[in-house]
Each structure stands twice: as C-alpha cells, then as structure tokens.
Amino acid sequence: MRTSNSRSTGRWHPSPPLILVGIALISLYANQSSRPHPGGTTVFASAQNVAGKFATRAKLTTTKKKKWSFWGNRRGEAITDAARDGELNDSLWRRLRRFFYGDDSSSSWEWDLFLAESRMIFVSVIASVLCAFFPLIWCSMPGKEISAGHDGREEGEVEDLVCDNPEQLKAGFFQSVEVGFEDVGMVLKQTKKDRADRVILDGSIRGRARPGRMLAIMGPSGSGKSTLLHAIAGNVKHDKKISLYGRRYINNETLTGDSRIPLAFIEQEVTFFPHMTVKETLDFQVELKMGAVLKTKEERDALVQDLIDQLRLTKSANTIVGNAKVRGLSGGERKRLSIACEMISSPPIIFLDEPTSGLDSYQAAQVIETLRRLADQGKTIVSVIHQPSQHVFQLFDDLLLLSEGRLMYFGEVSKVRSYMSDLGYECESEVGTAEHILDCVSRVVGADAEAERLSEKRIEVIASQAIKHTRELVAFGEDHTKKMKHIIDKTSTHPGTNVFRQFRLLLGRSAQELFRGKAAIMIKIVQQVSLGVIYGGIYSLGNNQASIMDRFGLLSLIIIGATNMAMAGTIRSFPKEKAIVSGELAASMYRTGPYFIAKALSEIPLIGFCNAIFGAIIYPLANLQKGRLKNFLGLTSLHSIAAESFGLLIGSVAPNSDVALALFPPVIVLNIIFDGKNIAEESIPWALRWISKIGLVKWGFTGLALNEFQGLEFESSGPFRGPVTKTGEQALARFGMDGKTLDSVVWAQSKIVVCCWMLSFMGLSLTRQKFVVMSNPPE
C-alpha cells in the first residue's frame, strides 16, 4: 500500500488506445478517400496524410521512394502537379469528383481538385474531433467525473491510499476491515417542476460492519436495501437525477465520497458462460486475476481446489454452469460459484445483494452457512436478505432494518426481539423474529383506514427510537475536517496477467463456448442446408440472356441472407455476453483488444464450415460458374465476418438488447438500399454517399458478382431483358461494377471489420459504468 498526499484530479484522460483508435480510423478514411498510389501508401503515410489535412505540414512517402512536402492548403496544388506529371492516377480524381460533386466531367479540374481537397480537410477535422476527442468531450460533461473532487474538501486534506496488487489488499490497511457509515441519504430529483423530489434514503441511516461478523440488511420490498448496499460500497450507478450524501469510514478513517471500497460485490443476478464447468470457470478467472502472483500451475490449481472445497462445490466441479436454457448447476451452487469467483483475490470485505433470492430454504441455508464460515475466518460480510428462515436469520450477527428508506433498527440480531418488545411490539412465541420485525415495519395498505393509520404511527415510533438508539450505539469521530482517505484500487484497473495470456485464455473460452453450444451449431447447419436447397431448387442458371438477371438476383439473395443471419445472430447473443464481459472488463480482468480479437478468431472456423456446407449445396444445384467455388467460399466467409463485426458494433454501443434489436431493421434496410443495384451511385443524395462506401451488402454483392460474372459468356438467345449482353464484364457494367477488382472488395470488407472492432472497442469503453459520488450530508 502506497500513500501520497497528492490528490488525484479525477478527470478522465483519453487513454492511448482510444487516441490510436481515433487516429487509425482517420487514417483508414484518408487511405480510402485519397490514395494517390493504391497499394503504395503505408498506414504511416496516410496518418501523415491526415495531419496534412489538418492544415499542418505533411510528408507523404510512397513505395516509389518519391517524397513530397507541402504546406497545408498547398497540398491541392501538389496533387494537381503530381496528377499533371502522371503520378496521380485518374481514378483518384474521379473518385474525388464523384464523392464531392457527383460528376467527374468538368474540365476545370485543377481548381476543382483543390476545392475537393479543401473539403476533405474540413471533413477530416470533423472526423478527427468525433473519433479522437469524442471520448474526452463526453467524459468532460457534467457528472462524468469518476474520482475525487466532489466532497467539498480543500486540497491537501486528502491522503491517497494506492493499492497496487492483490497481495497488498490482504496486508496493512485492508487486512481486517470495519466499514462504517452515517447520515446516508439519497434523493431522486424529479424532472417535472410540479412534483416533489423523491426521498429514497432519508439521511438517518448509520451503522457499521465489523470483521468476523455478518451484517444483514432487511426491510420490506422497496425500502431501499439494495440502494443502501450500493451506496456504502460506492457503487450507485450514475444518474444525473440522483443526489447521494453521507459519510463512510474504513477502520474509523473518513473516506472521500468517490472512493470505491475494495470489496467483493456479489450482485443478485450473476451470469456465467453457460458451457464452462465450475472448475474451468475458476481456472480461467484464477489465471486472469492472479496469473502474475501465482506463477506456477500447481499454485493456481491449489487455489482453485481450495475455493471449490471452501464453497462446497466438490461434487459439481465438473458440471457445466448452465443457464435458463442449458441445464447445469442449481441456483444455490451458481450463487456459491459467484462467491468463489469473488474470493479469488481474497478480499477482506464481501457485500451481497440478496444471495438467497430464488433459492429454496435448504439451498438458502447452504449459501448463508458458507458466508458464516468466511466471516469466522475474519471477513467482514454485509448482505441484503429477504424474508430469511429463523435458522438463516440466526446465522447473522448484526441487523440493519429499513422501512421506506428510514432506519428502523441497527444492532445485534439477538437483541432485536426484546428491543421491539420494549417499544410495545411484543412478538408471539410461535412467530419467528424475522417475520415479526418485518411485520412491525411494514405499512398496511389497502386494508381498513384504521389499520393503515396504526401502521403509519408504528413506523414513526420505531423510526424515531432507532435514530436515538443508533446514535448511542454507533459514534464516529465528530471531527469531520480531519484528513480523508481516498482509496485508489489499482488492482481493479490493471489485469493480473499480460495481453498474450489474456488473448490465449479468451480465445480458449470463446472457442469452448462456441463449440459446446451444440444446439446453436445444429441450428446454423440446418439454416445453411435449407437455404442452399431452397435457392438451389429454384435457380438453375444457364447461359441465356435471362440468366443474367437470375444470377444477380441469386447473388443478392445469398448476400442479404448471410448478412441477416450473421448480424441478427450476433445482435441477439452479444448483449448477454456483454453483461458478463462488461463486468469482467470493469474488474479489469483483461483488456478489450484481446477480447475482440479472440472472439472474432474463434468464430472463423464455424463461419468457414457453415459457408462450406452452403457452397457445396448451392454451387452444383444452381449451376454457378465452375472453378470459382474457392473464391465464393472465401468471399462469403469474409462477408459473414464483416456482418458479425457490424452486429458486434451495434451490440456494443446499444445500452441493451431491445435497443440493439430495434437498430437492426434500419441498418439492414439501408444496407439493402445501397447495395449497388437498387440505386445508382450518381442518384444517391450527397450527404448519404458515405453509406454506400461502407455498405456491407454492397461489398458482399460486388464480390460475388465479380467472382461469378468475370470470364462468363452469354448466348444471344432469349428471353431478353434489354439489349443483348455478351460477356460477364458487360453485365457487370450495368451496375457500375466494371473496373472493380476482388482485391478492392477484400480490402473494403477488411476495413469494415477493423473499423467495426475499433468502434465496438470504443463503444464498450464509453459505455463503462460510472458511479455517483457521495457528497457530505447537509448540515
């Protein structure tokens, strides 16, 4: 544990990977739009190219070893000179004119080219601002601070406690931890002026959780239990309508409002990759979290076995975790597995939000007994618990009782029954304590008015007594101006192992999940076979004039179908995975880059296999051009990868699966409209032309059309559709595909894949959870 008196500024800084993503995107854009020497421009050169577009000095290096230097807007002239000298090929000029003007016929092209370049400078500046500085702008918006600065304290009063590695958590300051809190309140501001703000926690809440003890937070539904648990942990999700205040202490030291206590937080719903066994899940997490500390496999295996034994998971060690669709662990075992995962770095404090929800009484007792054993080892345990049995209730040491956001009791579990009796709310002998106290603090609604009034009065009495009682019981130092501690837990921002190991582990997990999901694989195979048979049964391509239209129709259907399947599949499945991955990224188990690459690579074999099945059926049945099957498989596979990346992008930026699914239809419709044959490039409105450049369907269709039509010859026999077309090249010219090459298609699809990954990476980074900072309680 390091300490320092410097206070962190707490502003978000654009991380180097994000800046690189921005630069790379602009470079790709530059390469796409102004490549003076196709194939000769390096990424470095295009990055410099972009710098030139920012009206700064730029040098362009080509493989021809020619060097040009020019200043800002002289670049247009330089390109003009180069073009005059024959250095600049004609297609760039055409592309520039088409992109910016919609035609390429003007003869005053030198001046126009200069204008076009100037516009590109403008577009590039906008793009650069959006790509590279958007994260900075976004995170600088009000409420985006993620660290110190909101507690109203002077500089120098805060001491940073920097925790660098998991071993440090166990030593020193965090070895044996008491967590205290007082005057905790939360108000939900209403946006409509005529409505009063809603009090969720009333500011009367105080208590402490001590090492070796278990604190239960109880209360009727909606009383604020989960909110309080998150508020103490520093985990309340950012919402500009929320105002949170209070004070928190660790071992009697005051914490800053933005400190997140280094604890294990086990949420109500924990999701795992369903096809991994208990042991595989723990192996994976132990290696990622503790790889740097536990260097040998024996050490890691020993920790995994220890966790399995402690959490009583021995019998199910080789059972898959499962989920609602796949049969696996029982609910209680899954809960204990989630505790085991959180115990890997041996945190001294464990917070749990309703660990027994959805479990039968036997399983609930097993989970709480497990927690009891951990408390007996010296851990500090705080758990929200809902209607516990008497046995489970008695396993806890302390109780914090809430009703309607107000404190009703804080103290020992063993004393609460007599405490309520002393207040005049005697419990009948046959009623359990937990049941009785919940009855005491629950408002009667919908019964007769008298019962409602009495329950209201009872809550008032208990609440006012609780404030007095707790003030006597829980007192923290009154000197609130003393130095505060600001916890910087670097163990939660740095993965425990290097990127190559992260990549290897993530690749293994993705592949395992994919290939063990036999039902999903079967569905994909059946889809491919049925589509192949349907298309093959309808189309039988000959060489007459009508076969030209048939070919274009079939290829278009193949591409639209492949786009639909790949994109929709990813959009449906990724949000579920994102829930797990976001948690793991937030816990900094690994970086986003290795995750994306591993995910994409793991899917390639299955994509290739499915396309091979489809190709093997459709090719002979539909009588597509012989000798082009290999290219066909490569192009459809690349297209599926691109469509999956696009789906990944939508899944990453969308806040939930509903939004992701709502985005799918407009995206696919736009793709189909701009697929290269539904609207002529010249007729596309200027502002929308970029869509056709990044159109998935367009590039996929172009690729298949080039592969199929090039080298084909058609008979002059009917039925006729317009003038006689003799060669495949003439047919391609109908849709403006003459002069295009398969290389350009592969290049464009690869750029789409890379851009989608990068944007998904940014999406995941930007949608990372932020938390509300606790301010000082009002005086």
Ligand X SMILES: Nc1ncnc2c1ncn2[C@@H]1O[C@H](COP(=O)(O)OP(=O)(O)OP(=O)(O)O)[C@@H](O)[C@H]1O
Q: Which is nearer to ligand X, 217 or 250 (CB)?
A: 217
Taking the C-alpha atoms of residue 337 and residue 331, their distance in angstroms, rounded to an integer, is 10
Q: Are 99 and 690 in contact (CB under 8 A)?
A: no
Helix (H) or strand (E) holding 399: strand 398-403
Tell me the window of 19-27, 225-233, 420-428, 505-513 that interacts with ligand X (CB under 6 A). 225-233
Distances (CA, A) of 13 to 19, 21, 144, 594: 10, 15, 12, 22
What track of x and - describes contact with ligand X for positions 615 through 634 (by CB under 6 A)? --------------------
Q: Which one of 160-168, 219-227, 542-550, 695-703 is the stretch in contact with ligand X (CB under 6 A)?
A: 219-227
Residue 223 within binding range of ligand X, rule CB under 6 A:
yes
Nearest distance from C-beta of residue 219 to ligand X, angstroms: 6
Binding of ligand X at residue 226 (CB under 6 A)?
yes
Quick one: which segment of 87-95, 214-222, 501-509, 641-649 binds ligand X (CB under 6 A)? 214-222
In the complex with ligand X, which residue's Cβ is closer, 117 or 354? Answer: 354
225 binds ligand X (CB under 6 A): yes
Contacts with ligand X by CB under 6 A: the residue count is 13
Q: Is 267 in the site for ligand X (CB under 6 A)?
A: no
**Nearest to ligand X of 200, 286 (CB atom):** 200
Please report how close the Cβ of residue 357 comes to ligand X at its closest, in angstroms.
8
Binding mask 285-324 for ligand X (x = CB under 6 A): ----------------------------------------
Contacting range for ligand X; rule: CB under 6 A; set: 41-49, 223-231, 270-278, 467-475: 223-231
Distance of closest approach, residue 202 Cβ to ligand X, in angstroms: 12
Q: Cβ distance 77 to 149 under 8 Å?
A: no
Q: Show the tokens assigned to 69.
A: 């230097």
Q: What are phi and psi of 215, to 5 degrees?
A: -105, 125
C-beta of 472: minimal distance to ligand X in Å? Answer: 26
At residue 126, what is the residue type?
I
Taking CB under 6 A as the criterion, the residue among 224, 328, 495, 569 binding ligand X is 224
List all residues 6 or more positions away from 548 whose beta carbon is below 8 Å from its beta carbon: 714, 721, 725, 731
Residues in contact with 485: Cβ distance below 8 Å, sequence separation at least 6, in sequence order: 158, 159, 161, 250, 253, 254, 255, 256, 259
* Per-residue binder mask for ligand X (CB under 6 A), 135-174, x = binder: ----------------------------------------
Q: How far is the CB of 232 from ligand X (least distance, A)?
A: 12
Smallest gap from Cβ 662 to ligand X, in A, equals 23
C-alpha Rg value of the chain to the nearest Å: 32
Residues forming a β-bridge with 182: 247
The least CB distance from residue 583 to ligand X, in Å, is 19
Which residues lie below 8 Å from residue 253, measured CB to CB, with a gap of 6+? Answer: 484, 485
Question: Which residue number, 200 or 270, has a Cβ lying nearer to ligand X?
Answer: 200
Q: Which is nearer to ligand X, 219 or 594 (CB)?
A: 219
**Best CA proximity match to 565, nearest among 600, 525, 595, 622:** 525
Any bridge partners for residue 489, and if so which?
163
Q: Which is nearer to ligand X, 225 or 551 (CB)?
A: 225
The CA distance from 375 to 360, in Å, is 23
| Residues in region 371-400 near ligand X by CB under 6 A | 386
What's the CA gap between 366 and 372, in Å, rounded? Answer: 10
Q: How far apart are CA 145 and CA 132, in angstroms?
A: 19
Binding mask 456-475 for ligand X (x = CB under 6 A): --------------------
- Specify the residue, 186 or 643, whose C-beta has the smaller distance to ligand X: 186
Buried b (16+ CB within 10 A) or exposed e, 105-116: eeeebeebbbeb
Instruction: Pick between residue 222 and residue 358 the one whose CB is nearest to ligand X.
Output: 222
Q: How many C-beta neighbours within 10 Å does residue 430 have?
A: 5
Of the candidate spans 17-25, 218-226, 417-425, 470-478, the one that interacts with ligand X by CB under 6 A turns out to be: 218-226
* 528 backbone dihedrals φ, ψ, rounded to 5°: -65, -45
With respect to ligand X, which residue has the nearer C-beta, 77 or 239?
Answer: 239
Residue with Cβ nearer ligand X (227 or 637): 227
Of the candidate residues 221, 318, 429, 481, the single one contacting ligand X (CB under 6 A):
221
Least distance in Å: CB of 226 to ligand X? 3
For the record, the structure tokens of 778 come out as 């009002």
- Using the rule CB under 6 A, give the single segment among 63-71, 74-82, 220-228, 424-432 that binds ligand X: 220-228
Q: Among the candidate windows 217-225, 316-324, 388-396, 439-447, which touches ligand X by CB under 6 A?
A: 217-225
Nearest-angstrom CA–CA distance, 641 and 563: 9
Distance of CA 584 to the CA centre of its chain: 10
Cβ–Cβ under 8 Å, residues 541 and 630: no
Cα 344 from Cα 291, distance rounded (Å): 11
Is residue 191 involved in binding ligand X (CB under 6 A)?
A: no
CA torsion 122-124-128-129 (nearest 10°) is 20
User: Which of 222, 537, 605, 718 contacts ligand X by CB under 6 A?
Assistant: 222
Instruction: Pick one of 126, 130, 171, 188: the residue that binds ligand X (CB under 6 A).
Output: 188
Report angle CA 696, 16, 55 to the nearest 5 degrees: 75
Contact 643, 567 (CB under 8 A): yes
Residues 311 and 338 sit within 8 Å (Cβ to Cβ): no
Does residue 239 belong to the site contacting ligand X (CB under 6 A)?
yes
Q: Which of 180, 211, 219, 651 binds ligand X (CB under 6 A)?
A: 219
Q: Is 406 a residue that touches ligand X (CB under 6 A)?
A: no
Cβ proximity to ligand X, 211 vs 224, nearer residue:
224
Please report how close the Cβ of residue 183 comes to ligand X at its closest, in angstroms. 18
Give the separation between CA 403 and CA 760, rounded to whole angstroms.
43
- In three-state secondary structure terms, 532 is helix
Query: Contact residues for ligand X (CB under 6 A)?
Result: 188, 200, 219, 221-227, 239, 242, 386
